């Protein structure tokens, strides 16, 4: 039956019908950051592409949100699975990770990150959002199926810089093109590994440069466009954040994709095989009563914020003390990796991790699994977890703390940096049995298996 594609796009911009005044993505003082107008800079969307392989559907769905909180992901996925005869590995839910999207429950923690205590509108919007995610999947399944051929190529952009000074910047722009019977592009699925913070901290809803790039492609070609976020946890766009920088890099990425659509890449004939693998990333936590008492004492000492950290450190310390007192101590973070393999003379393997994957993983996996033409490495998929650092983000490589590693030098044994806004008690294990080896082992197993 060959390959075919169907698509859908659903607007998820908060409005009078689904109000949510709070913008997420940057920690704030108490009370959060509110949108200054009901009109966004540009609408935000859920986008859905169904790749049909011999009549069997595979769904890639992206949303212009910071991340899929566990509660929202776990509410949407079973409903989506009930729409068709497919398994969990055939469905990928990914956030584009815009930092001017709506605040959601859990991720980032609304109280710790923004000081929000009344979550009535946030919770109601989340319920509405789950319905829109399911609606997008349903519409894509029901949409007309266009017979297509698939081809793959890797383009280049250079606006991402390694914000912590590590010696690699992401330049790959993977492009998977679905072409109709006449060779015309029907759908363009493309990615880049770079934080969507080109606009910076603003007061209007927007999907940042990925949304700009999708609009550029759709306006230029008429093809359906979808951006897939790469391993961009430590990559930021070059330049001073502003709306104009958002447009500059969105147009630059979009124009690169449009040029790429003019020339076919490597043919991928199909079929499509998929897999998902759960794992637990170990936290550096000793849960013995004596140690937890010491950890509680450290958080008590951090409460008055003697080091002058941002206000979410105080709120995080308060919350962690409450969790210790209730006995809610997790020693690992549940996570997952998904893989799609699209066959051809040279197959393409696409892998997604469920957190903010730093670029070192993409560098490693490309080197081990045939380069950019053979493996496409992505993050921000599935139920959100937190940053997923490599060993480089801990001593001895970084002895002064690291945001991505989730630790600070005031109390290096407890959570700091990104682990405060992700509401964790501690940071990941850094050594040989720690986060890097756990992730590499899981990636290797799922890539070797398919």
Going through 140-215 in order, the beta strands assigned E by DSSP cover 146-147, 149-156, 160-162, 172-179, 185-192
pTM beyond 0.85: the answer is: yes
Cis peptide preceding 25, ω within 30 of 0: no
Does a structural domain hold residue 417? no
Quote the CA–CA distance of 439 and 281 in Å, as a whole number.
Answer: 8
Which residues share a beta bridge with 162? 235
Burial grade of 46 (CB within 10 A; 0-12, 13-18, 19 or more): buried
What b/e string do you get for 209-234 counting C-beta neighbours within 10 Å, with b at 16 or more? bbbbbbbbbeeebebbbbbbbbbbbb
Phi, psi of 153 (to 5 degrees): -150, 165
Of 289, 276, 282, 238, give the one whose Cα is nearest residue 381: 276
Which residues share a beta bridge with 8? 48
Does a structural domain hold residue 33? yes
Quote the CA–CA distance of 75 and 61 in Å, as a whole number.
Answer: 15
Tell me if 160 sits within 8 A of 209, measured CB to CB.
no
pLDDT score for 157: 98
Tell me if 231 sits within 8 A of 364, measured CB to CB.
no
- Kindly give the residue spans of alpha helices, DSSP state H, lying in 52-119: 70-81, 110-114
Task: Give the pLDDT confidence of 158-193 residue by residue, as tens digits.
Answer: 999 999 999 999 999 999 999 999 999 999 999 999
Quote the CA–CA distance of 39 and 54 in Å, as a whole number.
Answer: 42
Quote the CA–CA distance of 247 and 211 in Å, as a whole number.
Answer: 9
- The total number of structural domains that make up the chain: 1
Task: Give the pLDDT confidence of 206-220 residue by residue, as tens digits.
Answer: 999 999 999 999 999
105: left (phi over 0), alpha (psi -120 to 50) or beta: beta
Does a structural domain hold residue 20? yes
Which residues share a beta bridge with 279? 335
pLDDT score for 1: 59
Phi, psi of 323 (to 5 degrees): -70, -40
Does a structural domain hold residue 317? no
Does a structural domain hold residue 320? no
DSSP assignment of 211-280: HHHHHHHHHHH--EEEEEEBS-TTEEESS--SHHHHHHHHHHHHHHHHHHHTS--EEE---EEEEEEEEE
| Residue 200: CB atoms within 10 Å | 16
Does a structural domain hold residue 237? yes
| Residue 334: CB atoms within 10 Å | 13
Q: Which secondary-structure segment (H or E) carries 127?
A: helix 120-142
Does a structural domain hold residue 70? yes
Does a structural domain hold residue 394? no
Spans of the chain below 50 pLDDT: none
Greatest distance between any 2 Cα atoms in the chain:
70
| Residue 139: CB atoms within 10 Å | 17
pLDDT score for 432: 83
70: left (phi over 0), alpha (psi -120 to 50) or beta: alpha
pLDDT score for 439: 98
Note down the domain range covering 27: 3-268
């Amino acid at each position: 039956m060959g390959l075919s594609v169907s698509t859908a796009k659903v607007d998820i911009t908060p409005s009078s019908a689904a109000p949510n005044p709070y913008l997420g993505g940057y920690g704030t003082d108490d009370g959060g950051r509110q949108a200054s107008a009901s009109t966004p800079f540009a609408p935000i969307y859920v986008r859905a592409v169904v790749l049909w392989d011999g009549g069997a559907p595979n769904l890639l769905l992206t949303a212009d949100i910071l991340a899929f909180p566990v509660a929202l992901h776990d509410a949407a996925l079973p409903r989506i699975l009930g729409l068709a005869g497919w398994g969990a590995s055939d469905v990928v839910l990914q956030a584009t990770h815009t930092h001017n999207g709506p605040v959601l429950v859990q991720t980032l923690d609304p109280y710790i990150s923004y000081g929000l205590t009344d979550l009535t509108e946030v919770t109601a919007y989340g319920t509405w959002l789950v319905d829109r995610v399911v609606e997008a999947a349903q519409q894509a399944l029901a949409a007309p199926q266009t017979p297509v051929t698939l081809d793959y190529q890797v383009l280049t952009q250079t606006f991402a810089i390694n914000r912590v000074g590590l010696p690699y910047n992401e330049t790959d722009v993977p492009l998977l093109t679905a072409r109709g019977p006449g060779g015309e592009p029907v759908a363009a699925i493309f990615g880049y590994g770079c934080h969507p913070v080109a606009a910076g901290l603003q007061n209007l809803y927007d999907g940042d440069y990925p949304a700009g790039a999708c609009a550029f492609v759709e306006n230029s070609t008429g093809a359906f466009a979808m951006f897939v976020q790469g391993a961009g946890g430590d990559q930021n766009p070059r330049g001073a954040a502003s709306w104009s920088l958002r447009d500059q890099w969105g147009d630059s990425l979009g124009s690169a994709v449009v040029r790429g659509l003019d020339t076919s890449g490597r043919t991928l004939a199909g079929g499509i095989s998929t897999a998902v693998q759960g794992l637990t990333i170990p936290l550096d936590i000793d849960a013995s009563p004596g140690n937890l008492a010491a950890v509680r004492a450290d958080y008590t000492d951090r409460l008055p914020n003697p080091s002058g950290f941002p206000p979410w450190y105080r709120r995080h310390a308060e919350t962690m003390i409450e969790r210790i007192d209730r006995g809610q101590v997790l020693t690992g973070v549940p996570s997952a990796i998904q893989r799609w393999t699209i066959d051809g003379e040279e197959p393409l393997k696409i892998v997604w991790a469920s957190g903010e994957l730093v670029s070192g993983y993409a560098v490693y996996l490309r080197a081990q699994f045939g380069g950019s033409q053979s493996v496409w490495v992505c993050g921000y998929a599935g139920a959100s977890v937190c940053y997923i650092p490599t060993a480089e983000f801990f001593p001895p490589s970084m002895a002064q703390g690291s945001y991505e590693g989730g630790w600070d030098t005031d109390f290096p044994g407890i959570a700091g940096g990104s682990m405060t806004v992700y509401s964790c008690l501690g940071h990941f294990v850094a050594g040989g049995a720690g986060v890097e080896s756990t992730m590499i082992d899981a990636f290797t197993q799922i890539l070797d298996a398919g």
